[in-house]
Amino acid sequence: MKYYSTNRQSPAVDFKAATIKGQAPDKGLYFPERIPQLDPAWISELNSFSPEEIAFRVIHPFVGQTIPDEKLYQITSEAIQFPIPLVPVSERISSLELFHGPTLAFKDVGARFMSRCLGYFMSQSVNQQKVTVLVATSGDTGGAVASGFYEVEGVEVVILYPAGKVSPVQEKQLTTLGKNIRAIEIEGTFDDCQQLVKQAFTDTAINEKLFLTSANSINVARWLPQQFYYFLAYRQWKEKDHSPVIAVPSGNFGNICAGLLAMQSGLPVRHFIAACNANDMVSDFLSTGEWKPRPAVPTISNAMDVGNPSNFIRILEIFGLQVPALKEKLSTCSITDAETMQTISDVYAKFGYILDPHGAVGYLALERHLATNASAKGFFLETAHPVKFPEAVEQSTGVKIEIPSSILHIMQKEKKAIRFQPDYTQLKDYLLG
């Protein structure tokens, strides 16, 4: 499998090169030259296969021979070494719980997969040069990347996050590990962080001295394995005669992009909903056809506070840059903070199920869609554990959210982070120093 740049000004590369480079030299994102078509008979018999076998089968065409099959099977198995249950909430709506990994967020799957791929590639390197993973986070990416890459030999990690715009648990997860994990607190938004990272990748002076790669979902090794849990959800889907509607809380659009890719590979899906908060520029694009990035607005669903989602170009690539074809399979829905809080309250009162703010956005978007589609059923992605957003959840439910024992020790650790203005010169001096 080869990968081309979405800007079409760079040579095609294999999975190994795309993973190590992160972003193409022409500033585009890498995209597979073809979308594998999975055997419909195999998909209809997913219940007969283990989660590990399913994940391996899904990712193998994308990796090709860059990783031996035995090693790739081990990597995929370790990436999903925790439960990913599809839990009924109401008669027509289920929750795909993606928060049972080590950092209690959906990004654990992609971060664990990528860290192990990159670790393997570095172990095979002749010159044993260290690689620096430079990543921007709006919340959960930082913790997942920090956990996934912690003590991985030959890899240094630098994480940028917006000051005051991540939850206490999220901040502790990305600032307390130390060793090869370093955190930089930016006095700005996620978009500021992402812009600084993009500048670094195109800076010749930095790239001559450092071997840079990204662990954001712009990296194929972070983006592609997110397909796993869509297939694992369908494995648990009871009504195989009726394909599900899937609502995905969407910020940088990497997660829903992976779902759409899985659908184009053959996974039965009736419809996708990009559930957005106040940062809903994709909704405007689908309505007007005009791409107008804007500054991110802070919300209680902070991981979705993205004003210029990088991965949307990949969604367009999946549909051959044909917006009408895309709109047949994807719609958007924007949810306010007030509606998010009310949804957390209502769902807990009616069903005893506790949503985090991102899951609440997904739930309400799905509920609204099903209200006008009487025969449909579906599920939303519950992307993070409610404990990551205690203020909003406890205010809405009146229930004290207990910190899971698996992360209790992290909350006692000291935060270690450098604070910068959103000034590229500061970041550049730090990286080169």
The residues carrying an active-site annotation are 107
Most confident of 100-114, 349-363, 404-418: 349-363
Amino acid at 36: P
Residue 410's pLDDT band, with cuts at 50, 70 and 90, is confident
* Alpha-carbon distance values, 70 to 115, 175, 232 (Å): 17, 34, 21
Q: What are the b/e assignments for 300-328, b being 16+ CB within 10 Å? A: bbbbbbbbbbbbbbbbbbbbeeeeeebee
Q: Could you tell me the two tokens for 429?
A: 């001096």
Percent of the chain at pLDDT exceeding 90 = 78
Please tell me the least confidently modeled range out of 146-150, 226-230, 358-362: 146-150
Please tell me the least confidently modeled range out of 126-140, 261-275, 377-391: 126-140
Dihedral (Cα; 236, 239, 242, 245), 10-degree rounding: -40
Residue 242's pLDDT band, with cuts at 50, 70 and 90, is very high
Mapped onto helix, strand or coil, the DSSP state of residue 244 is: coil
Instruction: Give the residue-averaged pLDDT of 314-332.
Output: 96
Is pLDDT at 129 greater than 80 in this prediction? Answer: no
* Alpha-carbon distance values, 244 to 83, 164, 240, 432 (Å): 21, 37, 9, 49
Q: What are the b/e assignments for 415-432, b being 16+ CB within 10 Å? A: eebeebebeeebbbeebe
Mapped onto helix, strand or coil, the DSSP state of residue 4 is: strand
- Ordered by start, the domain boundaries in the chain are 73-106+223-406
Tell me what pLDDT residue 241 has: 87
Residue 128's pLDDT band, with cuts at 50, 70 and 90, is low
Residue 194's pLDDT band, with cuts at 50, 70 and 90, is confident
Residue 340's pLDDT band, with cuts at 50, 70 and 90, is very high
Is pLDDT at 369 greater than 90 in this prediction? Answer: yes
Q: What is the pLDDT of residues 54-85, one digit of tens each?
A: 999 999 999 999 999 999 999 999 999 999 99
| Residue listed under structure tokens 């982070």 | 417
Residue 199's pLDDT band, with cuts at 50, 70 and 90, is very high
Give the helix, strand, coil percentages of the chain, each rounded to 5: 45, 15, 40
CATH number for 73-106+223-406: choose from 3.40.50.720, 3.40.190.10, 3.90.1150.10, 3.40.50.1100. Answer: 3.40.50.1100
Cα-atom radius of gyration of the chain, to the nearest Å? Answer: 20
Please tell me the least confidently modeled range out of 6-20, 184-198, 334-348, 370-384: 184-198
Percent of the chain at pLDDT exceeding 70 = 99
Is pLDDT at 338 greater than 90 in this prediction? Answer: yes
CA max distance for the chain: 60
| Residue listed under structure tokens 């986070």 | 137
The more confidently predicted of residues 214 and 418 is 418
The more confidently predicted of residues 15 and 20 is 15
Contact 392, 302 (CB under 8 A): no
Q: What strands, in cross-sheet order, belong to the sheet with 245-249?
A: 86-88, 93-97, 378-382, 245-249, 271-276, 330-334
Dihedral (Cα; 363, 369, 371, 375), 10-degree rounding: -110
Q: What mean pLDDT is reported for the chain?
A: 94
Tell me what pLDDT residue 126 has: 65
Residue 122's pLDDT band, with cuts at 50, 70 and 90, is confident
CA–CA separation, 300 vs 391, rounded Å? 9
For the entire predicted model, the pTM comes to 0.91
Instruction: Give the residue-averaged pLDDT of 356-366.
Output: 98
